[in-house]
Amino acid sequence: MNNKFLIGGVMVLLIIILAVGGFFWLNNYIYNQKQGNVGFQSSYKDATYIIEGKSVILVNGYSEVEVTPGSSSKIITKYFGNEAEGDLNMDGISDIAFLLTQDSGGSGTFYYAVASIKTDSGYQGTNAFFLGDRISPQTTEIDNGIVTVNYAIREPGFPMTAIPSVGVSKYLKIENGVLTEKSVMPTFGMSQKMLINTPVQFTDGLTIVLKEINDSHCKPGMVCVWAGELSPLLNITGGGLGNMQKEVRLGTTTAKIIVESGYEFNLIGATETTATIIVTKELKTLGKCYIGGCGGEICSDRQDIASICIYKEEFACYKTAKCERQAGNQCGWTQTPELKTCLDSSK
């Protein structure tokens, strides 16, 4: 009789244990389903990223781990910012790209670009792309699946105490789940954001460098004739110019569009450090060149162009010179040795 009660008690206890265990298993299963699969998080600031081959788990954008077990030195990884939102894997869902910093107790602060892919299960972090030590981040953008990270570094040979002043752009793309660097060449007709001293080369070899941005805005407390503007100065070479170099000065008010050497430069906007332009090639057929001016001293693509009738001896040199299109597709006098000698002797 006692054995029957004992067996019954054991059975009841087993049933209770199975019921409680089943309850907790089911509850944990439901919780995990709500939270998403392993490796996926509801926030990109709580995802896992691979930095220099090691997994770094962020909690609210922060991670702190020992350099070695038991060490007082810590490797601290932080969310920096410079977020950009856009579709990186072409699944129709907006993803996030941003910058992280990492310090390991030394004097360096290392910057990385990362991406976080959004899925129905949450965010999945990528590997980190190294940008540099103590750089000066500018902007991060996503366009057509490509992450563009703009930042400044120090000039070669300058100490780390120097202020970063050389603009750099990195173009990153996710391929087979890996964030990798891509070489992206700008195309004509598309907007291009330019940083100071950062060369941009187009598909035909045209190279543009933003040299400076002049700010002539009327300063507070001053009385000005006009409100002023931001005026980017571009240095152009290559392409249709060949080895020639020319400067193009645009303005947010006075010179938004300038045509030079077969290219149209359209200023879309400017800040104190950047200029956004659209460059297109002129498609019009180049006409003939004409000689004009009171003394026949002007070679241009306009007929009957006038000038002040002040005679100079050098004007006689142009009577035997060739008025034709030059290397930059502009009309001008062909600089032959004979013309140069004549001009020099007339001065």
**Count of beta carbons in the 10 Å neighbourhood of residue 270:** 21
Q: Residue 31 pLDDT > 70, yes or no? A: no
Q: CA 84, CA 61: separation in Å to the nearest integer?
A: 16
Task: Calculate the average pLDDT of the chain.
Answer: 84
**49/175 same-domain check:** yes
Instruction: Look at residue 20 and give its three-state secondary structure.
Output: helix
pLDDT tens-place string over residues 75-100: 999 999 999 999 999 888 999 999 99
In a domain, 118, yes or no: yes
Task: Assess whether pLDDT exceeds 60 at residue 26.
Answer: no
State the Cα–Cα distance between residues 231 and 277, nearest whole angstrom. 12
Pair (153, 277) in one structural domain: no
What confidence score (pLDDT) does residue 33 get? Answer: 42
Kindly report the pTM of this predicted structure.
Answer: 0.51
pLDDT of 287 > 80? The answer is: no
Q: Provide the percentage of residues in the chain whose pLDDT is more than 70.
A: 85
Nearest to 317 by CA among 288, 291, 283: 291
Are 201 and 175 found together in one domain?
no
Beta bridge partners of 171: 148
- Residue 74 placed within a domain: yes
182-228 residue pLDDT tens: 876 677 888 888 889 888 888 788 889 999 999 998 888 888 878 88
Residue 198 has a pLDDT of 85
Boundary (domain end) residue, out of 249, 264, 281: 281
* 87: containing domain: 44-181
**146 and 198 share a domain?**
no
pLDDT at 176: 87
Residue 319, helix vs strand vs coil: helix
Mean pLDDT of 22-39: 46
Among 181, 203, 232, give the residue marking a domain's end. Answer: 181
Total number of domains constituting the chain: 3
pLDDT value at position 178?
93
Which pLDDT band, with edges at 50, 70 and 90, does 32 fall under?
very low
Residue 69 has pLDDT above 50, yes or no: yes
User: For residue 186, is it within any domain?
Assistant: no
Q: How far is CA 76 from CA 26, 56, 61, 108, in A?
A: 37, 10, 11, 12
| Domain-ending residue, one of 234, 255, 281 | 281
Q: Is the pLDDT of residue 154 over 60?
A: yes
